[in-house]
C-alpha cells in the first residue's frame, strides 16, 4: 500500500465570505450547548479569517491576548467576546428556546 499524506484541517481556509462566517457561527452555537469555549474557538476561527492584527486594533486588545482568549482553551470574559463580536460586525439576535 502507498503512503497516505494527511493535512491538518483548518476551518479558516473555508471561511471566505461573511455569509460563510455567519453560517459557521450559527452552526457552532447550535452544537455548543453550554460550552462557551467552543463558541470562543469559533469566534477565533472567524477572527483569524478576517485578520487577527486588524481585530486587535479594532478591539484595543493585544494580538496574543486575542489568540489565547479565542483558542478554545482560554476563558475569555463576556466583555472580551462582545468586543470581538462588535469588531467583527457580528450581532446575535436573542431567541426564546421552546423546550
SS3 content of the chain, % helix, strand, coil (to 5): 60, 0, 40
* Whole-angstrom distance, CA of residue 96 vs CA of residue 49: 30
Asked if residue 46 belongs to a domain, the reply is: yes
Asked if residue 99 belongs to a domain, the reply is: no
* Whole-angstrom distance, CA of residue 81 vs CA of residue 43: 8
Asked if residue 33 belongs to a domain, the reply is: yes
Instruction: Give the pLDDT means over successive 10-residue stretches in the chain (99 positions).
Output: 88 95 94 91 95 94 94 89 93 76
Asked if residue 38 belongs to a domain, the reply is: yes
Q: How far is CA 38 from CA 4, 65, 90, 98, in A?
A: 30, 17, 17, 23
Asked if residue 73 belongs to a domain, the reply is: yes
Instruction: Decide: residue 46, CB within 10 A, 0-12 exposed, 13-18 middle, 19+ buried.
Output: buried
pTM of the model: 0.85
| Domain assignment of residue 58, given as a range | 16-88
Asked if residue 11 belongs to a domain, the reply is: no
Asked if residue 30 belongs to a domain, the reply is: yes
Number of domains forming the structure of the chain: 1
Amino acid at each position: 500500500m502507498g503512503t497516505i499524506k494527511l493535512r491538518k484541517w483548518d476551518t479558516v481556509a473555508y471561511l471566505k465570505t461573511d455569509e460563510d462566517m455567519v453560517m459557521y457561527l450559527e452552526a457552532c452555537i447550535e452544537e455548543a450547548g453550554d460550552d462557551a469555549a467552543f463558541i470562543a474557538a469559533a469566534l477565533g476561527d472567524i477572527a483569524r479569517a478576517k485578520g487577527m492584527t486588524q481585530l486587535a486594533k479594532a478591539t484595543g486588545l493585544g494580538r496574543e491576548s486575542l489568540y489565547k482568549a479565542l483558542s478554545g482553551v482560554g476563558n475569555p470574559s463576556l466583555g472580551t467576546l462582545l468586543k470581538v463580536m462588535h469588531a467583527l460586525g457580528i450581532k446575535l439576535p436573542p431567541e426564546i428556546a421552546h423546550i
